[in-house]
Homo-oligomer: A and B are copies of this chain.
Amino acid sequence: MAKIAHVSPLAPASFPDLPLIGGVRFASAAAGVRYSGRTDVMLAVLQPGTAVAGVFTRSATRSAPVLDCQEKLGDAADGPAAILVNSGNSNAFTGHYGQASVAEITAAVAGATGVPARRVFTASTGVIGEPLPHERIVAKLEELNDALTDSAIEDAARAIMTTDTFPKGASATVEIAGTPVRIAGIAKGSGMIAPDMATMLVYIFTDAAYDQTALQALLGRLTDKTFNCITVDSDTSTSDSLMLAATGTAGVDATGNAEFETALHGVMLDLAQQVVRDGEGATKFVEIRVTGAASDTDAKVHGLAIANSPLVKTAIAGEDPNWGRVVMAVGKSGAAADRDRLTIRFGDILVAENGWVSPDYKEADAAGYMKGQELVIAVDLGLGAGQATVWTCDLTHGYIEINADYRS
């Protein structure tokens, strides 16, 4: 595995101060699953009655923990719940052995914490296809249970990192009927691209109460506008997991509250963008804004075609305002487009319109713009009201270095 010593140039200055969320306690430990000298397991225990929602990778080869979580989700929110995550090994493509590992870990979490096994959710992230040494995790569970505290969310964020160059956290506080409710989340991921690693894990907690069925619907809706709008290299992990837990300790029910939805959307978008900012080899953070498409779905198809195009991504890495490649990506996406109605802007610079380069376009201006670290590429299809925004990073030598190196 390649070691990249540097923190991403796109990283935030520091881990944010996250508010305490009542009803959830964290602990982390160094179990030696694969890494040495760092923590690699986190445990979160949620108080009785906490509503739990989750969305997971749709990969046909998804991991044993993902299959287990999907089977359990949707049970009534009775009793306490727990989340146990390890880094260093994804327990994916490990056959029946992988399922047995999940069962062993789940039973150990239940035994140590008193949480019913049906309410224990696990995740594993790391190398694919190697048996998970679950006994190393099991051996740490009493220690983890004894260490649980409500102030250890940043340590949890660090324990789930694989090739991430920085831990990722975000939060929001909103008032509902005069009562403050808090949202705090953590994520790991360098896009889909960590060498040998399965990738994105996200855990978000709120002290608001929320109907569990409605929470699941809310999470799905907001995922489509946040985590499903980012891409680093178009590769999809076997382990992607996003869970949201509502403990209710704030004493107010947020079900259906619009301000809560907006705040949660903000937290999810912040975490999603931090994943892009930690994209392997990334030197530029790029927002692709698509408007005027025949539908929102078409707009997202165009946006992802641009964001995933190796030619667009290498042009951005080279600070080349190569708008012809944007035209190419729109053309190949399969969604509706009319060459002669297409408008392209780099930042505020009008590049192309009416099926040709804009008469006022000066390449020197666009070349100057491309030297920035945060870029906006805006495409208007001129066909309808459909719109979408997606986020990506550039494709650099760093990506090749990290991913072409032999595992050792």
Contact = CB atoms under 8 A, between A and B. Distances in A.
Contacts of A221: none
A372 interface: no
A400 B403 contact: no
Given A93-B356, A400-B396, A129 B59 contact: no
A72 interface: no
A326 B397 CA distance: 22
Interface centre among A318, A342, A357 (most CB of B within 10 A): A318
A173 interface: no
Interface residues of A, number: 68
B317 A400 contact: yes
A31 interface: no
A236 B324 contact: no
A192 to B, nearest CB: 7
Interface in A94-145: 94-97, 127-130
Contacts of A406: 318-320, 367
Contacts of A234: 234, 308-310
Interface string A311-346: 100110111101111011111110011111010000
A238 to B, nearest CB: 6
A160 B29 CA distance: 62
Contacts of A238: 327-328, 331
Interface of A: 57, 59-62, 92-97, 127-130, 192-193, 196, 198, 233-238, 308-311, 314-315, 317-320, 322-325, 327-333, 336-340, 342, 352, 354-357, 367, 395-397, 399-400, 403-407
Q: Please give me the 5 A-B residue pairs with the lowest Cβ-Cβ distance, nearest first.
A: A128-B324, A61-B331, A318-B404, A59-B331, A236-B332
